[in-house]
Amino acid sequence: MNNRHYNIYFHTHTVSGIVISVVLFVIFFAGSFSFFRDEIINWERSESTAITREIQLDYNKALENIDKEYILHGRNITISKPSIENRAAVYMEGSKDTLAPAKQKEGSFFYLDNKKFKSYTYEESYSLGEFLYRLHFLAQIPYPVGYYLSGFTALFFLFAIVTGLLLHWKKIVSNFYVFRPKEKLKTLWTDAHTALGMIGLPFQFVYAVTGAFFMIKLLIVAPAVMALYKGDENKLYKELEYNDPDYKFENKKLATPFNINQLVSKAKSNWSDFEITRVFIQNYGDANMHVLVEGELLSDKKFTGIGKVIYRIADGKEIARKNPVTQNGYLDIVKNVLYRIHFGDYGGYALKIVSFILGIITCFVIISGVMIWLIARQKNNLPEKKRRFNAAVVRIYLAICLSMYPITALAFIGTKIFYPLSQSNLFSLYFGGWLLLTIFFIIKKNDAFTNKFCLISGSILGFLIPITNGIFSGNWFWTSFMEHKIQIFFIDVFWIALASITLYTAYHLKPKKKSLKTT
C-alpha cells in the first residue's frame, strides 16, 4: 500500500471513529443488555413464562373481555407478541362503521395479560428491558432524529471497520497475536485495539450493516419510491409484502358464529414445529370478516420459515396459504434474515451470552481507539493549549461512556424497589443519574479514577441486584432455580458473574508507570 492510500485510510478511520465514538459506545453498551430484554422484563415483574415466541392466549375469552370495554364491530384487530413475556400486544383500528360513535372510530394500542386479561397502556407496561432496547437505537430522542442519528452512526462505523481492515490487511494475522502490556501506553492500547477489533470483526460488521439498514432504510428506498413508484409508498410496501390483503367492509352483521381459537389451532396443525406469532382480524363481526393467522417454524428447523393462512369466516373456507417450508423465497429471506441475525434470537442463551461478550468487547475497542487518539496527540511538540483541549475531549468521552455501567446497575435496583416504576421516573433515574455522574467525573479530571470508580461502584451495585430482588420479591436466585423461573434466575446470576469480573478487573488495574531516562 502506498503512502497516499495509507494516509487516506488512516485519517478516514480515525475521523469516522472519533466522531461517532460516544454514540457508538451507548449503542453497543445498551444493545449488549438488549439481548436479554425479555429476561429483564420478566425479572422486573417477578414473572416467569414459557420460552417461546408463540402467543399464549385464549383468543375467544380475550376478545370477549376487550369487547366489554371497546366495541369491536367493524374494527381491524392485530394481536402479536413482541417479546417473550406474559402479555400480548393488541392494536385496534377504528371501526369502519360510518354510523358508529366517534369514540369507536378511534384506534387503540395496549398490552393484554394472557391469563388475567387485564389491559395495560404502553406507559404502564414500560420496563427497563424496553428502555435499554430503545436506548440502543436512541429512540428516546424525538423521532426521527434519534433513529437517523443511530443509523448514520452505524454507517460511519461501517466505514471505520472497512478502513481499519485495509490499514491492517498486510499484518492482519501477525498483529492479532501481538500484545505487549509492558511496553509504552500507546503500544498497549494499539495492541488491544487491534487484537480485540479482529476478534469482534464479524460481529461488528453484521451490526453495522443491519443497524444502518433498520434505521435509515426509509432514506435508502426514498429514491426508488419516487422514481419507480411515483411516490406511492403503499404500492412499494405491497410488493415487498409488508401490507396485508385488504377486504371490503360490507356493513352487514355476520350471521354465522366463529371461534378464533379453532382457526388458530387449525392453522398451527398444518405444519409441525410451527409457532403462531400474529393473528390479524379484519372487519370484526362483519359479513366479510377474515382472519389471518401468521407464524414461523422453530429456528432450529428452518432459519427463516414464515407461514400464514387466511380464513373467510362467513363460510369457514381457507382462501390463501403460504407454506413456510416451500414458499419462502428470496424476498422473505432478505427481510427476515437481517432481523434474525441482528436480534440473535435463534441460538438460545449461549448465543445471547456470546453476543453480549462481543458487544462489550466492541465497547472496549471504541474506548481503546479514543485512548490511542489521545496519546498520539499528547506529544511535547504540540502547544499546551491544544494538549489540554484533547485531554478534555477524552475526559468527557470517558465520563459519559464509563458511567453507563454503574447507572445501569442502579436502574435495575431502582426498578425492583419502586416497582412498578413509571416511564417518566425511569427516565429521571437513568438520565438524571447518568448526567450527575458524568459532571462529577468531568470536574474530577482524573481518567484513572473515573475508570476505577465506575468498575467498583458498578460491581457493588451489581452484587446488590440479586439481593434486592430477593428482599423485595422473595425470588432469591436459588429459589428461582428450584421453581424453574429461568428468566429471573438468569438475570440474578448474570449480574453476579458480571460484577465479579469487573471487580476483579478493577483491583488488578495498575497505573502505567512512566519510564525514567538515566543520564
Query: For 299-336, what is each residue's pLDDT tens digit?
Result: 888 888 999 999 999 999 999 999 998 887 777 777 78
Q: Which of 334, 335, 333, 337 is nearest to 346 (CA)?
A: 337
The C-alpha cell 453484521 sits at: 206
Which amino acid makes up residue 358? L
Sites in the chain below the pLDDT cut of 70: 1-17, 168-191, 221-222, 224-226, 231, 233, 236, 510-519
Bond preceding residue 420 cis, omega within 30 of 0 = yes
Tell me what pLDDT residue 196 has: 77
Strand order in the sheet with 87-92: 119-120, 108-113, 87-92, 77-80, 274-282, 290-297, 306-312, 317-322
> What pLDDT is recorded for position 110?
97
Output the pTM of the full model: 0.90
Query: Domain segments of the chain: what residues?
Result: 59-116+241-336, 377-519
pLDDT of residue 300: 84
Q: Which residues contact 44 (CB under 8 A, 6 or more apart)?
A: 127, 128, 129, 415, 416, 419
By percentage, how much of the chain surpasses pLDDT 90?
A: 64
The C-alpha atoms of residue 119 and residue 112 are separated, in whole angstroms, by: 4
Phi-psi region of 141 (alpha: psi -120 to 50; beta: other; left: phi over 0): beta
Q: At what angle do helices 404-417 and 433-444 cross, to 10 degrees?
A: 150
pLDDT for the residue 515: 39
| N-terminal to C-terminal alpha carbon distance within the chain | 40
pLDDT of residue 488: 97
Q: How many whole angstroms separate alpha carbon 29 and alpha carbon 361?
A: 10
Asked if residue 498 lies in contact with residue 462, where contact means CB atoms within 8 angstroms, the answer is yes
CA 179, 184, 188, 193: dihedral to nearest 10 degrees? -120
pLDDT on residue 460: 98
Give the angle 48-85-151 at the CA atoms, nearest 5°: 135
| Number of residues in the chain | 519
User: In 366-413, at which residue ranges do the beta strands (DSSP E only) sit?
Assistant: none
Q: Where are the beta strands (DSSP E) in 123-269?
A: none
Partners of 91 in beta bridges? 78, 109
Q: Are 317 and 311 in contact (CB under 8 A)?
A: yes
Q: Taking the CB of residue 383, how many other CB atoms lie within 10 A of it?
A: 8
CA distances, 430 to each of 33, 316, 413, 499, 507 (Å): 15, 52, 11, 19, 26
